[in-house]
Amino acid sequence: MIDFFESPESSTIARVGFDDESLILIIEFKTTGTYHYFDVPQHVFEAMRAAPSRGQFLAQNVKKQFRYSRA
């Protein structure tokens, strides 16, 4: 199942999703499209959901840590 949440307060991220079966973090950006990050533990998704700045969390905890591709 894919769990999504909206991110209206973010200037760059529109929506974030997580596929708990394949461990894919889905980031839908407001202007640059959708990216999939692979082999992301669920606790990273939950921490991103709770982060005060999702863009900052993405930059510090996801971008250089996990393999990704543009969807």
55-66 pLDDT, tens per residue?
999 999 999 999
Q: In terms of DSSP H, where are the helices of 1-71? A: 42-50, 54-61
pLDDT in tens, 24-43: 999 999 999 999 999 999 99
The amino acid sitting at 1 is: M
- Judged against a pLDDT cut of 90, whether residue 1 lies above it is answered with no
pTM: 0.94
Domain ranges, ordered by start, for the chain: 2-70
Residue pair 28/60 in contact by the 8 Å Cβ criterion? no
Q: How far apart are CA 59 and CA 65, in angstroms?
A: 10
Q: Which residue has the tokens 């969807």?
A: 71
Q: How far apart are CA 47 and CA 41, in angstroms?
A: 10
